[in-house]
């Protein structure tokens, strides 16, 4: 079954080297306490997301039940089971950002990008998400694109911000 899973993922990905890297990660962390999160994190970094087939392979190779692997994947918001965009936009909806217009920013981004929350643009450029707090409360509302925080954002600034990407 292992070979079948490997073949299936390689065909979808078109790159056997990525799957070999994931196998190496599993070998490195499978016997370490708390290694599952590290395996999942690195597997997502290599593969881009964690489809069910990859979760099944990780479960099989680590000896951890699939239910536990899938439980970890679905519990933590930084794991994704669907392909993600090249850039992730997170709109803060913490109290300060929400009160100062965070919801309006989400609406404008949805209109501009043509996607809903949790979705990725058709060109694969952006994924849109909500964050509960990004630590910029004094300069709310704020958004984060990848690791860059933009403060005091309003709908008029969005086109300029997005044009950088």
Pair (71, 92) in one structural domain = no
Q: Band of the pLDDT at 18, cuts 50, 70, 90?
A: confident
The parent domain of residue 99 ranges over: 87-163
Three-state DSSP state, 66: helix
Is 106 domain-assigned?
Answer: yes
Residue 108 clears pLDDT 80, i.e. is over it: yes
Q: How far apart are CA 14 and CA 29, in angstroms?
A: 25
Average pLDDT over residues 82-104: 95
Q: Residue 54's pLDDT is what?
A: 94
Pair (113, 62) in one structural domain = no
Residue 155 clears pLDDT 90, i.e. is over it: yes
Number of domains, the chain = 2
Pair (108, 155) in one structural domain = yes
Final residue belonging to a domain, choices 75, 99, 115: 75
First vs last Cα of the chain: how many Å apart? Answer: 41
**Contact partners, residue 75, CB within 8 Å, separation at least 6:** none
Residue 124, Ramachandran bin (φ over 0: left; ψ between -120 and 50: alpha; else beta): left
Pair (135, 94) in one structural domain = yes
Is 63 domain-assigned?
Answer: yes
Pair (105, 139) in one structural domain = yes
pTM above 0.85, yes or no: no
Pair (108, 41) in one structural domain = no
Question: What does the longest C-alpha to C-alpha distance in the chain come to?
Answer: 54
Q: Are 5 and 56 in contact (CB under 8 A)?
A: yes
Final residue belonging to a domain, choices 75, 109, 128: 75
Pair (66, 99) in one structural domain = no
Is 82 domain-assigned?
Answer: no
Q: Band of the pLDDT at 15, cuts 50, 70, 90?
A: low
Q: How far apart are CA 77 and CA 80, in angstroms?
A: 7
Q: Residue 125's pLDDT is what?
A: 96
Three-state DSSP state, 158: helix
Is 11 domain-assigned?
Answer: yes
Mean per-residue pLDDT of the chain: 90
Q: How far apart are CA 45 and CA 26, in angstroms?
A: 13
* Alpha-helix runs per DSSP H in the chain: 2-13, 16-29, 35-47, 52-62, 66-75, 95-99, 102-113, 155-163
Residue 8 clears pLDDT 50, i.e. is over it: no
Is 61 domain-assigned?
Answer: yes
Pair (71, 133) in one structural domain = no
Final residue belonging to a domain, choices 45, 75, 105: 75
Mind listing the pLDDT tens digit for each residue in 39-64? Answer: 999 999 999 899 999 999 999 999 99
Q: How far apart are CA 40 and CA 5, in angstroms?
A: 17
């Amino acid at each position: 079954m292992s070979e079948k899973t490997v073949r299936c993922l390689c065909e979808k990905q078109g790159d056997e080297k990525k799957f070999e890297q994931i196998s190496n990660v599993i070998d490195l962390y499978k016997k370490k306490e708390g290694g599952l999160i590290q395996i999942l994190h690195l597997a997502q970094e290599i593969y881009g997301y964690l489809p069910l087939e990859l979760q099944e392979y990780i479960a099989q190779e680590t000896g951890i039940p699939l239910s536990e692997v899938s439980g970890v994947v679905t519990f933590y918001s930084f794991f994704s089971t669907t392909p993600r965009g090249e850039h992730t936009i997170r709109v803060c909806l913490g109290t300060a950002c929400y009160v100062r217009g965070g919801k309006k920013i989400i609406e404008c981004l949805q209109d501009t990008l043509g996607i809903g929350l949790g979705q990725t643009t058709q060109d694969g450029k952006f994924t849109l998400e909500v964050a509960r707090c990004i630590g910029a409360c004094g300069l709310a509302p704020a958004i984060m694109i990848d690791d860059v925080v933009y403060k005091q954002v309003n709908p008029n600034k969005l086109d300029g911000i997005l044009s950088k990407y």
